Structure 1
Amino acid sequence: MDGSETSQPKARQRVLVVAPGRGCYNKDELGYLQRFHGGKTEFIAAIDDYRASQKQPGVAKLDAAAKYAFKLHTPGENASALIYACAMADFMDIDRDKYEIVAVTGNSMGWYIALACAGALDPKAAITLINTMGSMMQDGLIGGQLIYPEMDADWVKDPAKTALIDACIRDINAEDGAEIFTSIYLGGYRVLAGNEAGLKLAEARLPPLDERYPLRLYNHGAFHSPLLQGVSARGLALLGPELFKRPQLPLIDGSGSIWTSYGADVDKLRDYTLGHQVVEPYDFTLALQVAVKEFAPDKVIILGPGNTLGGPVAQSLIGIRWFDWHAKGDFTARQQQDPVMLAMGNEEQRQLVV
């Protein structure tokens, strides 16, 4: 052997990148931006300059707060920009010599972050869109959301729970003044959106599970439901076509559609983002399943902050037996032996990505 074989560069692994949505920046994530991205001063300053123009606190200041506060960190006008800053900065840190990013998707608000990661929004357009949509309810929430499991203890979808949730939605909408809808298909969970009357009925009628569910999501409006028709209309009025570009990386949206650099209609991408995506259910489960089937990644990288999306990603993949995962035990065993799902909000797994 002359040694020439060992000098060949190692092939990059193909990865799907997943952007998180609201609810992933919590008490444990306080300081995330400074801890991992303090050196990205130009990127953070650009976000904070825009925030200053809107008379809103900068993400650097929010992240550097002495303590985590629900009233400060969870409202959409602050949470959206803060999560975008953390997730986008994480995306910049992915080792491109080691990983080839073959596609990008996201959950709920993570769709906006995915647009930025894929290059369909430049940095200025990204903070403009994310901050605008995140600030739509600063004068008062429109409805709310709750989450309820749709799986068994092995993370396999339970048809009985699906039937229960569907019947609950049907029956509640038959009541005067009550509205509730599927908001997000989230792996082994269903997120419901509704008005207060609908949410209270759902909380009363869905059997308690694990001393936690049904769980109301604090400071979340009725995203991905008809209750946000007005928000969609305002978004379309405020955010023009000039903000959007063809993506440089393939994008998978919340209906399972794929947007590519060569085939994407930019006007339709805007219409989906500010129209359908706002008022119709977001099928994160389907987005994940389409992404792995179409692009066959070696690994899945979940951007931070936090790791709240790890379970739903694994549950979505268990649903189609991807990575030969048939149940929670298969996922756990593989992750301990040779992790193929890497969450950048997990410091041990982060080291395998950056």
Structure 2
Amino acid sequence: MSVSANEDRFDVPTAFVFPGQGSQEPGMGRPFYEGCARARTVFERLDAAVDFELLSLCLEGDGDALRRTRITQPAVFATGITAHAAVVDRLGRVPQYVSGHSLGQYTALAAAGGLDPRTGVALVRKRGEVMERACEGVSGRMVAVLFVDPETVAAVCDGRDRLDVAGFNGPRQTVISGTETAVEAAVETLQETASGPCRVVDLEVGEAFHSPVVAPAERRFVDELEACSLADELRSPVVSDTTADVHEAPGEVVTDLESQITAAIDWSGVVDALRERGVEQYVEFPPAGTLGDLIAESHPGARVVTLESPGDVGEIER
């Protein structure tokens, strides 16, 4: 079925956006857990849906504890979806569109009503497990290449073994991913041949995601996706983070996610698609701070509300 037409939407065309792995930080769940009763209830339900102390890690876990993929993914999902519960509880409206960056696409699907959050947190727990397992014994690395145009980065990666572009984040930020050796060789080539500045920043992840290294995880995870229970319709369309297509049914989103583990994230394409559809306001959900900067670079003049605590909800223009 299609998107529900019976929802109260924002007067200012708005997109809710959710971050992925690498955005995690100690205490990321505390502001909304302590500041909103509705968010606290949702957090506790999600904690009961997984086989580890999710709530404790989101409130008190240190950087090392949150770095492990099978922990990081459900923790980031839970933090985003509980903040979303607080927004809906206060404003009672749904956005014109939702999207997420990699793992954040699962949060977006749940926020759009296509996936029960308890199903979603268990699903991303499994996703983290298979991705972590696929990278065992592999020294992987992900880096953001700054200031070099995406076409140049893609050309340097083309044809190299166990290496690929993992994300087109913006006009001056492209992520590459693969084995340590392959990434290092590509970085050396870029630094030697770039016509202008070239800066490289390592990402806060433990494995080589969105690269050929994690292909075994993608194959294992398809059955989990196909078996998950979905709602009949979405409250808001979901913009694909790999193709920038606009999906209006839950099944379309899940089909898209079947190849997402190895596909390059096209966040530039997401922002372009939202801008073309008239979006003027973006609400960046926690753990926040990454997507807002990328949006500002690709959509100058857009309004970005970064949610770090319940007090920020009042900044959203209705």
TM-score (norm 2): 0.82
CA 92–292 in structure 1, closer or farther in 2 if over 3 Å, else same: farther
| 2:257 counterpart of 1:257 | no
Aligned mate of 2:253, from 263, 269, 272: 269
Q: Is the 8 A contact 1:12 1:98 kept in 2?
A: no
Partner amino acid for 2:103? M
Considering only CA atoms, is the larger Rg found in Structure 1 or Structure 2?
1
* 1:125 counterpart residue number: 119
CA 83–33 in structure 1, closer or farther in 2 if over 3 Å, else same: farther
Q: Is the 8 A contact 1:145 1:221 kept in 2?
A: yes
* 1:190 counterpart residue number: 174
Partner amino acid for 1:17? F
Aligned mate of 2:297, from 296, 315, 338: 315
* 1:64 counterpart residue number: 59
**Shift in Å, 1:198:** 0.7
CA 38–219 in structure 1, closer or farther in 2 if over 3 Å, else same: farther
Q: Report the 3-state secondary structure (helix = DSSP H, G, I; strand = E; otherwise coil) of the residue aligned with 1:207.
A: helix
* 1:86 counterpart residue number: 79
The 2-side partners of 1:186 and 1:132 are apart by 26
The 2-side partners of 1:90 and 1:215 are apart by 29
* 1:233 counterpart residue number: 219
Q: Report the 3-state secondary structure (helix = DSSP H, G, I; strand = E; otherwise coil) of the residue aligned with 2:130.
A: coil
Render the CA deviation track for 1:180-215: whole Å, top value 9, x for unaligned.
Answer: 111111123111111222112133333399x99312
* 1:116 counterpart residue number: 110
Q: Which moved more, 1:106-115 or 1:344-353?
A: 344-353
* 1:205 counterpart residue number: 189
Partner amino acid for 2:12? Q
* 2:47 counterpart residue number: 48
**Shift in Å, 1:15:** 1.2
Q: Report the 3-state secondary structure (helix = DSSP H, G, I; strand = E; otherwise coil) of the residue aligned with 2:299.
A: helix
Aligned mate of 2:143, from 134, 140, 146: 146
Q: Which moved more, 1:298-307 or 1:110-119?
A: 298-307
Q: Which runs of 5+ in 1 are unaligned?
A: 1-10, 151-159, 324-339
Q: Report the 3-state secondary structure (helix = DSSP H, G, I; strand = E; otherwise coil) of the residue aligned with 2:108.
A: helix
**Shift in Å, 1:17:** 0.7
Render the CA deviation track for 1:24-55: whole Å, top value 9, x for unaligned.
Answer: 12247473453445653432222222222xxx
Q: Which residues in structure 2 correspond to 1:275-290 (within 5 Å)?
A: 276-290=259-273
Aligned mate of 1:103, from 94, 97, 103: 97
Q: Pick 1 or 2: higher relative contact order, CA cutoff 8 A, min separation 6.
A: 2
CA 199–103 in structure 1, closer or farther in 2 if over 3 Å, else same: same
Q: Which moved more, 1:279-288 or 1:135-144?
A: 135-144
* 2:5 counterpart residue number: none
The 2-side partners of 1:42 and 1:348 are apart by 18
**Shift in Å, 1:224:** 2.3
Q: Is the 8 A contact 1:33 1:60 kept in 2?
A: no
Identical positions, percent: 17
**Shift in Å, 1:252:** 0.4
| 2:66 counterpart of 1:73 | yes
Q: Is the 8 A contact 1:125 1:244 kept in 2?
A: no
Q: Is the 8 A contact 1:13 1:98 kept in 2?
A: no
* 1:161 counterpart residue number: 149
Aligned length: 299
The 1-side partners of 2:294 and 2:174 are apart by 10
CA 79–347 in structure 1, closer or farther in 2 if over 3 Å, else same: same
Q: Is the 8 A contact 2:39 2:85 kept in 1?
A: no
Partner amino acid for 2:69? G
The 2-side partners of 1:270 and 1:106 are apart by 13
* 1:7 counterpart residue number: none
Q: Is the 8 A contact 2:36 2:86 kept in 1?
A: no
The 1-side partners of 2:92 and 2:41 are apart by 25
CA 199–314 in structure 1, closer or farther in 2 if over 3 Å, else same: same
Render the CA deviation track for 1:94-123: whole Å, top value 9, x for unaligned.
Answer: 266485511101111111111111111112
Q: Is the 8 A contact 2:99 2:239 kept in 1?
A: yes
**Shift in Å, 1:13:** 2.9
The 1-side partners of 2:32 and 2:131 are apart by 25
Q: Which runs of 5+ in 2 are unaligned?
A: 1-9
Render the CA deviation track for 1:53-89: whole Å, top value 9, x for unaligned.
Answer: xxx2x22211332x6232x011111111111111111
CA RMSD of aligned residues (A): 3.0
Q: Which residues in structure 2 correspond to 1:271-350 (within 5 Å)?
A: 271-274=255-258, 276-294=259-277, 296-318=278-300, 323=302, 340-345=303-308, 349-350=312-313
